[in-house]
């Protein structure tokens, strides 16, 4: 079996069995394609499984060094931390690929496990303020060209902030999901409970506030074809709304509103978590609502809040500018 066929099988396995995100599959595909092209020149022939089994740690390091040299020669604008993240992703792609080969094709090569993974700093979440986040649904929807799009955008961005969803999770919802949410809610209070399928196919239950349910119901009445199996959020042609369209709409509005570049749909998810934490919500509860697999991921919001408090202190405290003799 040639290495290219094994790579394609691995990526298919990542997509169907592991249910990896499309972005991860795309990134791994690019890394492994570049790796196999390098090996073809490095070894003098297209590699097969036997060639992969015989690769040494020096061979793998040679590829990583080659990629680093390509980036330097291209003079790509990058930071040290970004370069470290790219290398870490490539090491992860190699390790995952060779673990797959060991389990499914008997290719046992310990070299990928010996590669050093550079330490990277995960950027802290940058939420919007409460007033800014509350302004997003109306601000973005006011820029829409049709009444249907206005109702849709208001509901979508209200949902993103009100429930802390990823944009991909919100756009994956169908009309029946809204109907089920209303059925599981309190009819007197007018709230609901959404069943969300997150990363890796993991499901979680997310409560929907009455204000958000009202916006979603208004959109459902304006929906051009509200059949149960239809996408909840649709584009002008009736298909599922693309994330890029929603991101572009918010980008246009933030420029008009004078908001910073980090004011994106995903920033509303950060805002949801940060504002809950500031209100005294337990980290475990926020973890469940966001669908984080690890509590350490949720704890980043604690660090972000500490950084914000320190910034406020340094700008406001009378002694912040004092020098120590």
- Which string of b and e fits 72-81 if b means at least 16 CB within 10 Å? eeeeeeeeee
Place of tokens 């980043």: 300
Calpha distance 178→231 (Å, rounded): 10
Is 266 an annotated catalytic residue? Answer: yes
Q: How far is CA 146 from CA 69, 125, 157, 222, 235, in A?
A: 50, 33, 17, 11, 12
Q: Which of 90, 254, 269, 275 is catalytic?
A: 269
18, 199, 220, 300: which is the annotated catalytic residue?
199
Q: Is 100 a catalytic residue?
A: no
Q: Is 28 a catalytic residue?
A: no
Burial class (CB in 10 A: 0-12, 13-18, 19+), 159: buried
Active site residue 301: yes
Is residue 166 annotated as a catalytic residue, yes or no? yes
Which residue out of 223, 266, 270, 275 is catalytically annotated? 266
Neighbours of 35 (CB within 10 A): 23
How far is residue 62 CA from its own chain's centroid? 31
Catalytic residue among 126, 254, 270, 292: 292
- Give catalytic status of residue 202 as yes or no: no
The answer to whether residues 251 and 143 touch, using CB atoms and an 8 Å cutoff, is: no
Task: Give the number of other Cβ atoms within 10 Å of residue 284's Cβ.
Answer: 10
Active site positions, annotated: 166, 199, 266, 269, 292, 301
């Amino acid at each position: 079996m040639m290495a290219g066929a094994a790579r394609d099988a691995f990526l298919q396995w990542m997509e169907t069995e592991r249910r990896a995100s499309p972005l991860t599959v795309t990134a791994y595909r690019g890394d492994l394609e570049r790796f196999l092209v390098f090996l073809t020149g490095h070894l003098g022939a297209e590699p097969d499984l036997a060639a992969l089994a015989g690769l040494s740690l020096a061979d793998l390091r040679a590829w990583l060094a080659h990629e680093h040299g390509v980036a330097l020669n291209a003079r790509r604008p990058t930071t040290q931390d970004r370069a470290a993240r790219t290398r870490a992703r490539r090491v992860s792609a190699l390790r995952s690929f060779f673990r797959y080969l060991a389990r499914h094709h008997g290719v046992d090569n310990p070299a990928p496990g010996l590669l050093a993974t550079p330490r990277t700093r995960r950027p802290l979440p940058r939420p919007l303020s409460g007033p800014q986040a509350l302004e997003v649904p109306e601000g973005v929807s006011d820029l829409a060209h049709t009444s249907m799009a206005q109702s849709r955008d208001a509901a979508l961005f209200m949902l993103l902030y009100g429930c802390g969803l990823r944009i991909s999770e919100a756009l994956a919802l169908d009309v029946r999901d809204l109907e089920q949410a209303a059925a599981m809610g309190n009819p007197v209070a007018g709230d609901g409970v959404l069943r969300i399928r997150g990363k890796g196919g993991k499901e979680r239950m997310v409560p929907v506030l009455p204000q958000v349910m009202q916006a979603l119901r208004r959109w459902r009445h304006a929906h051009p074809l509200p059949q149960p199996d239809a996408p909840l959020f649709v584009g002008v042609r009736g298909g599922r709304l693309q994330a890029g369209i929603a991101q572009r709409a918010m980008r246009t509005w933030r420029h008009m509103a004078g908001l910073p570049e980090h004011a994106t749909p995903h920033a509303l998810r950060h805002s949801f978590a940060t504002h809950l934490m500031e209100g005294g919500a337990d980290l475990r509860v926020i973890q469940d609502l966001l669908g984080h697999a690890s509590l350490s991921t949720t704890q980043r919001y604690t660090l972000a809040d500490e950084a914000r408090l320190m910034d406020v202190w340094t700008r406001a405290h009378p002694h912040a500018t004092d020098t120590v003799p």
